[in-house]
Structure 1
Amino acid sequence: MLALVVAVGTLAVGGKAFLGTRAGGSAPPAAKPTAIPVTVAKVTIRDLPIERSGLGTVTSLNAIDVKFRADGQLQNISLQEGRDVQAGDVLAQIDRRPYEAQLAQAEAAYQKDTASLNNAKADEARANRLSQTGAGTMQAIDTARSQVAVLTAALAGDQAAIDAARLNLEFTTVKAPIAGRVGLRQIDEGAVVHASDSSGLVSITQMAPISVRFSLPQDDLPALLAGQAQRELAVAVDSRDGTRHLADGKLAVIDSQVDTSTGMIRLKAIFPNQDQALWPGELVTARILIRTDRNAVVVPSAAVQNGQNGSYIFIIKSDGSVAAAPVKTGPSVGDFTALLSGASPGQDAVLDGQSRLANGSLVSPREQPADGPATSGNAS
């Protein structure tokens, strides 16, 4: 019985000692905070092309309606619709015979008056000789001289008639006045045409070079004038949806006044268009390079956040945590934004997951993929 009491007491003391050790001992260590995975990119230095863009229309420098300059039956049409022609190429032929007859008539009159003039000159010479011997009179000399003058004038008129007849004969051959692309034919062979007809033979549109007319807000006018004073401003043209680049050219004209109804200034750029990538009447997006900001401090635009106090970016510190750095932003070009203050080249900026971050948050950074933001695009 005594042995049982001793055993129970020993167990009670041991249990109390065990419980005291659990109650008074140190707590287990706290778990370390989990690092938030984020994508980062370096703050870098690069040149930023500052552009402005606007919707424009492709316009031919010369587009004409080829009309007839002689009357007659249209005997032959040699043009091919939709083909390119050069200045001077024969397009059609009008019946030449009436104009050949007119030319022959004018030449005959010239020959007749030439013979008469030669005879009048001979009469004048005889009158002068007779006057010198006293056998002639001054009246005869004056009459001979007047006849020579009359026939000389008639001969000049005959020459003018010959020139006019030759010109009319030349007009029977319809030629392309400019180089360009032929449109749809407006008349058929065998028709009788007149110089007074309102409709012509065909239209010709100059394709190269070609122009693009577009508009920009009047607020861009000072920058445009300043850039044009220094150099020719480059203009790039893309498809209307911006998916395809079409051509590169130069700014040619800034309009002399702002449209008061829209507040826009009209511009015209010239493009070589040898490959005919631009088509008259086509709607395009024109981008004009106003200037290039050299050695700008930039960061991918995805890194820039907007808060109540302005723009900021999350910078990775050396201990693996982040800090929100207020920044002053400049123009954005493509996927990059210029930083005028608040960040330095070489710093790591967070590109995604900013909604889960706060000052001091521990992050697990990974580099931006190689196919990151491009540098092309329009500046805002």
Structure 2
Amino acid sequence: MSADTPRAAGTSGRKRGRWIAIATAVVVVALVVFHLFNRKQEKNVAPPQIVSVAVATNGNMPEELSELGTVTPVATVTVLPQLSGYLTEVGYQEGQDVKKGQFLAQIDPRQYEISKQQAEAQLAKDQANLDLARADLARYTQLHEQKSIAEQTYIDQKFTVEQDEAAVKADKANIAQFELDLTYCRITAPVDGRVGLRLVDPGNYVTPSSTTGIVVITTMKPTTVQFTVPQNTLSKVLDRYHTGAKLPVTIYSSDNTKQIATGSLYAINNQMATSTGTVSLRATIPNDDEALYPNEFVNVKMLVDTLSNTVLVPTPAVQTGAPGNYVFLVNADDSVSVQKITPGPSDGQFTAILSGLSAGQRVVTDGTDRLSDGAKIRIAKAGPAQAGSAATPASSSTQTSPASGRRKHGAGAAASAS
């Protein structure tokens, strides 16, 4: 019995140690799992996003259409010869401004002068025959009244007089035609404008069938600019146009960096282009400084209307996605919510909100790419430049520069975040 007791005691000690080790391992594993679980929960709680915000304000927003246009002259005339002959003289300098009726070129007139002299000689001959026939008719009339000649002789003489009168009229018409030909030999400018490069040199034989003509004259001032508008916006233009309002048009350079001229809309085409769904419009421009050149490509901005006392927000605040058009509305608890809106016209810097937002509400302008509905935010402190931009946009009631009119959302967001 004494020998078995120490052995039993040793076995019992080993079992106890084993249970203690197992319990210790379970506690360690539990602590590790608990630590990892708490750490994962901490990661799921996103920190507030730093954003820039702006307050929706009331103001005026110009409703403009921005389109591409082409400078189209009021008149472009290709001067063609009206008759055939050798060109003997050119009376203009290339690129010269000419007035209507100014001498341009001369066709050799000698052939037509000779033809006119022949027609005048034929007229003198036919006029003499007419005078003789009238004298005979006067004598036959007396004899006819006395019943001294046959009735047929008297009637025949009347017909002879009429034939000679017709011959005289034909001769006079021929003379008038040759006089007109002589006029056509001296070619003059049909309109005021600027002549182009010389197309025919003196000594060449010209004909009316020539397609190139002698010279091209283009009216430089006033001029017009032709552009198109889509059918969806045509109704607004027509509503204003039919009331007699003059829709102002501003012309910018092809790169949209410089204002060139101003004018007004004066004509709308009577048909829509089915291939593009657009309608051509034409604006008249004084072009006194000749800054617009024929067939030049330009950018056109036409002021259709002005929305008064409408809600305005910075353009970067307006987002487009699955909900449609929306903004991130800042709540009182420093969270944001998705607010659906109906945007109106924009000048690039600000956008009019037709519905879904009221003046005084705050919207996120920068940092929207990291936001979701209900996300917590922290408003960034405004720098010196941003503090001045928090005021109501006074420029929203005037036309903006072409650069601001084409500002991208990303650029506007960067400006708000600075």
Q: Where on the TM-score scale, by shorter chain, does this alignment land: which range? A: 0.7 to 0.9
Shift of the 128–306 alpha-carbon distance from structure 1 to 2, 3 Å rule, reads closer
- Which of 328, 352, 358 is the matching residue for 1:312? 328
- The match for 1:14 is none
* CA distance, structure 1, for counterparts of residue 52 and residue 327 of structure 2: 19
Q: Which amino acid letter does the alignment assign opposite residue 238 of structure 1?
A: Y
Q: Is the 8 A contact 1:254 1:265 kept in 2?
A: no
SS at 1:109 equivalent: helix
Where in structure 2 are the equivalents of 1:63-74 lying within 5 Å? 63-74=76-87
- The match for 1:298 is 312
- Which of 117, 123, 128 is the matching residue for 2:136? 123
TM-score by length of 2: 0.69
> Aligned pair 1:288/2:302, yes or no?
yes
TM-score by length of 1: 0.75
- The match for 1:144 is 157
* CA distance, structure 1, for counterparts of residue 162 and residue 356 of structure 2: 92
Report how far residue 177 of structure 1 moved. 1.9
Shift of the 151–306 alpha-carbon distance from structure 1 to 2, 3 Å rule, reads closer
Report how far residue 52 of structure 1 moved. 2.0
Q: Is the 8 A contact 1:211 1:268 kept in 2?
A: no
Which segments of 5 or more consecutive residues in structure 1 lack a partner in the other structure? 1-36
Q: Which amino acid letter does the alignment assign opposite residue 241 of structure 1?
A: D
Report how far residue 127 of structure 1 moved. 0.8
SS at 1:284 equivalent: strand
* CA distance, structure 1, for counterparts of residue 320 and residue 225 of structure 2: 38
Which segments of 5 or more consecutive residues in structure 2 lack a partner in the other structure? 1-49, 408-418
Report how far residue 311 of structure 1 moved. 0.1
Structure with greater proportional helix content = 2
Shift of the 365–283 alpha-carbon distance from structure 1 to 2, 3 Å rule, reads closer
- The match for 2:348 is 334
* CA distance, structure 2, for counterparts of residue 281 and residue 104 of structure 1: 48
- The match for 2:235 is 222
- The match for 2:145 is 132
Once the two structures are overlaid, the 10-residue window that deviates more, 366-375 or 173-182, is: 366-375
Report how far residue 115 of structure 1 moved. 2.3
Q: Which amino acid letter does the alignment assign opposite residue 80 of structure 2?
A: K
- Which of 150, 165, 178 is the matching residue for 2:191? 178
Shift of the 361–91 alpha-carbon distance from structure 1 to 2, 3 Å rule, reads closer
Q: Is the 8 A contact 1:322 1:363 kept in 2?
A: no
Q: Which amino acid letter does the alignment assign opposite residue 185 of structure 1?
A: R
Q: Which amino acid letter does the alignment assign opposite residue 328 of structure 2?
A: Y
* CA distance, structure 2, for counterparts of residue 71 and residue 360 of structure 1: 86
Where in structure 2 are the equivalents of 1:77-92 lying within 5 Å? 77-92=90-105
| 1:337-372 residue CA offsets vs partner (Å, 9 max, x unmatched) | 223443326x78786688899557595686316997
Once the two structures are overlaid, the 10-residue window that deviates more, 201-210 or 304-313, is: 304-313
> Aligned pair 1:51/2:40, yes or no?
no
Report how far residue 204 of structure 1 moved. 1.6
Q: Which amino acid letter does the alignment assign opposite residue 295 of structure 2?
A: G
| 1:250-290 residue CA offsets vs partner (Å, 9 max, x unmatched) | 15123513333xx4313121323432222222111122333
Q: Is the 8 A contact 1:335 1:374 kept in 2?
A: no
